[in-house]
Amino acid sequence: MSTKNNDGIQFPVLAQTGKPSTSRFGKTVIHAALQAAAAPQSVDVLKEKNWRRDYPYYFKALVQHSIQSVDAALKIAEKGLHTAQQTLVFHRDGETYTLNEAMQRSQDFSFAKFTLKGEGSAEIAEWGIPYHGKFLTGQALLEQIDIWQDNGIIDPTHAQALKTVQQHPEWFDLSQRTVVLFGAASEAGPLTWLSKWKANIVAIDLPNEKIWQKIQDTIRKGNATLIAPMQQGKNGERVLGVDLLKQAPEIANWLASFRQQLDLAGIAYLDGEKHVRVSLAMISIMQKISQLKSDCSIMFMLTPTDIYAIPKRVIEAIEQRKQKRTQIEKFLSKAVNKVSFSHFFQPNDESLYASDNGQQYAIADCMVVEQGPNYALAKRLQQWYALIARQQGQKVSINIAPSTTTRSVIKNPLLKAAFEGADLFGVEAFSPETTNAIMAALWIYDLNCPDSVANPQNTLEHPLKLIMENANHGGLWYVPYLARTALPFAAIYGFTLGKLKKART
């Protein structure tokens, strides 16, 4: 397990400075993607001097040009992903390769298989949703799904998917499936639920004792089977876990040695620029395995705080909601917008964009600048690979998960306060256990329901339909303002609520 600190997937070093630049990398990738659609913004992106602040403009341009042409959506995805993989470098033993070269050069692995069987009840756990101290099942669950839909928290297709999966308890028997979780211990991941549904779980996570203690404890309480990579540590001991950033080629080779059909779930998260690198590590592993095992399925979870193509009906619903706003809200939003010289409460783009498929779509710009361009790029790379994989005939489950109060999110004081005050704008942030239950069920739906957009046998009117369907946007799609221009006021409201709660206790 001996690896040097600079080994593995890294950003290229700039000749001018002798240092890597994540901003330069991001602009290079977005430039190539926009250029694939002959977008005029491709000229400006390389000259952009305030990438950290203005990157949403270019991400919106990607969506706009993806909407306008069915072919362009795929060309943008292919060119953007290819550029990222050709630009990132991989260091090993003093040699430097492109990421693509590194993945193809190595055919070896030195991992043993560690296996652990659950000791819990053999019964498949009933699916339900933990919500505000209750565990919702049956009619209570259906009623809550309707409430979420009526309040604009979830898309109607999301509501229907959850209702459908509830009607098929047999789908939760995963004893014949082998699911690979990249970032198995992820707080927003499905490990806890899969461990109760007899799944064969191949866990990929860092060689960290606390992480693996958590994973093994979860498995022991359930009825699943854990399969984990085990390697030799620095002192000759046997260590569970691998490093996606440093051992991506070997991980791919190890997974390719499995005889079973694999369901590959890319849920690993790392802070800052590492999220870009780990996303490309997961994607590159998935690509290599899929070349050898074409029956693999792919899964990612997306964030609602991004920029998406959305159905025309969402804009129609926004107009209805705007009519219902109180006079006070209308007055305050206009007044604040005016005195802030239009910095706050900027109206969302409600334009309809024509596609060459004869349909019209809109754009939901819910990007939050505080999350940064590296996070936005990491999630865009996942989207691009999902579109390409489905076009190539693979089953692809990629769903928008709700804003969730995970530790990685609420450690940012502004985001924490904003989520606490989100209901001021009709937005709901979910607890991790609620999100886990919802997203695990959506994955089950996509794996089993023949009508799901995940099924490549179903023809989509537009490639982006894969991402529009089944969205749990938490209400962000229906907010009439750009999320980033309303965020400070949600944060002030949330901060005040928090202070009042503390004062009462």
Q: Cβ-count burial of 298 within 10 angstroms (0-12 exposed, 13-18 middle, 19+ buried)?
A: buried
Main-chain phi, psi angles of 313, to 5 degrees: -60, -25
Angle, CA 378 vertex, CA 376 and CA 383 arms, to 5°? 90
- Determine if residue 297 is left, alpha or beta; phi over 0 gives left, psi from -120 to 50 gives alpha, anything else beta: beta
d(C-alpha 30, C-alpha 257), whole Å: 35
Closest CA to 441 of 137, 58, 121, 94: 137
CB atoms within 10 A of CB 25: 22
Pairing of strands 297-302, 396-400: parallel
Q: Which amino acid is at 125?
A: A
The pair of structure tokens assigned to 64 is: 């706009």
Report pLDDT digits (tens) over 183-230: 999 988 999 999 999 999 999 999 999 999 999 999 999 999 999 999
Cβ neighbors of 93 (< 8 A, separation 6 or more) are 7
Domain ranges of the chain: 8-108
The pair of structure tokens assigned to 36 is: 């694939």
Contact 469, 462 (CB under 8 A): no
Cβ neighbors of 26 (< 8 A, separation 6 or more) are 51, 55, 276, 373, 374, 377
* CA–centroid distance for 273 within its chain: 16
Pairing of strands 178-182, 200-204: parallel
Contact 256, 292 (CB under 8 A): yes
Cβ neighbors of 417 (< 8 A, separation 6 or more) are 490, 491, 492, 494, 495, 498
Q: Going residue by residue through the chain (505 aa), what tens digit of pLDDT does each one get?
A: 434 568 999 999 998 899 999 999 999 999 999 999 999 999 999 999 999 999 999 999 999 999 999 999 999 999 999 999 999 999 998 999 999 999 998 888 889 999 999 999 999 999 999 999 999 999 999 999 999 999 999 999 999 999 999 999 999 999 999 999 999 999 889 999 999 999 999 999 999 999 999 999 999 999 999 999 999 888 878 999 999 999 999 999 999 999 999 999 999 999 999 999 999 999 999 999 999 998 999 999 999 999 999 999 999 888 776 666 555 555 555 655 555 545 577 888 889 999 999 999 999 999 988 889 999 999 999 999 999 999 999 999 999 999 887 776 667 776 677 777 777 778 898 999 999 999 999 999 999 999 999 999 999 999 999 999 999 999 999 988 887 887 776 777 666 666 656 656 5
Report pLDDT digits (tens) over 375-432: 999 999 999 999 999 999 999 999 999 988 777 666 777 667 777 777 777 889 899 9
pLDDT at 255: 97
β-partners of residue 302 are 400
β-partners of residue 228 are 114
DSSP assigned state of 152: T
E-strand stretches of 143-291? 178-182, 200-204, 225-232, 238-240, 262-266
d(C-alpha 3, C-alpha 7), whole Å: 6
d(C-alpha 474, C-alpha 426), whole Å: 9
d(C-alpha 130, C-alpha 436), whole Å: 9
Q: Cβ-count burial of 284 within 10 angstroms (0-12 exposed, 13-18 middle, 19+ buried)?
A: buried
Taken as a whole, the chain contains a residue count of 505
pTM (2 d.p.): 0.92
